[in-house]
Amino acid sequence: MQNLGTSLRVLLRGFLRRCPNCGDPGPYRWWWKMRLRCRQCGLHFEREEGYWTGAMAINLIVTELVFAAIMVATVIITWPDVPMLPLLLVGLAVNAVVAVTFYPIARTIWIAIDLLLHPLEDDEVRETAELRRIRDQTTANV
Ligand SMILES: [Zn+2]
């Protein structure tokens, strides 16, 4: 188990869409297109088949919390004349927009949580070290 400071740093990196392992800002080529590996530390982001289920759960929870907050706030503010149709349309839009835009962040948060719960295995550490060595040799020869 890692200490609290290290755990918070790993989680913060995930919330900032950075590689939770090393902090590199480039896990994504663009907002939704994730690289297979970290370009800095070589971490393979999808550590096993079905890996992104946790990210989907995080994304669903955040999306529904935002949706619920908007619904409750609107009902409280407008009670007793709740505008049902506009509220329904806003709710649909919020569910679509938040789910789509937050998903990349949910993925790096999930990687961070997974790294804290399941630290890199020996073969993953060897693999990332080998990739770093190859990258360093390649850049030194250029
Ligand atoms: Zn990294």
Express each pLDDT in 78-134 by its tens digit: 999 999 999 999 999 999 999 999 999 999 999 999 999 999 988 888 888 888 888
Distance (angstroms) between ligand 1 centre and the Cα of 62 equals 25
Contacts of 14 (CB under 8 A, 6+ apart): 20, 105, 108, 109, 110, 111, 112, 113
Distance (angstroms) between ligand 1 centre and the Cα of 29 equals 14
Residues constituting the chain: 142
Q: What is the band of 142 on the pLDDT scale with cuts at 50, 70, 90?
A: low
Distance (angstroms) between ligand 1 centre and the Cα of 21 equals 5
DSSP state of 46: S
Q: What is the band of 140 on the pLDDT scale with cuts at 50, 70, 90?
A: confident
Confidence (pLDDT) at 1:
56
- How many domains are there within the chain? 1
Tally of CB atoms within 10 A around 128: 20
Distance (angstroms) between ligand 1 centre and the Cα of 11 equals 13
- Is residue 135 within 8 Å of 42, Cβ to Cβ? yes
Distance (angstroms) between ligand 1 centre and the Cα of 7 equals 15
Distance (angstroms) between ligand 1 centre and the Cα of 65 equals 30
Domain that holds residue 71: 4-141
Distance (angstroms) between ligand 1 centre and the Cα of 20 equals 7
Confidence (pLDDT) at 37:
93
Which of 1-5, 13-17, 118-122 is the least confident region? Answer: 1-5
DSSP state of 19: -
Tally of CB atoms within 10 A around 55: 21
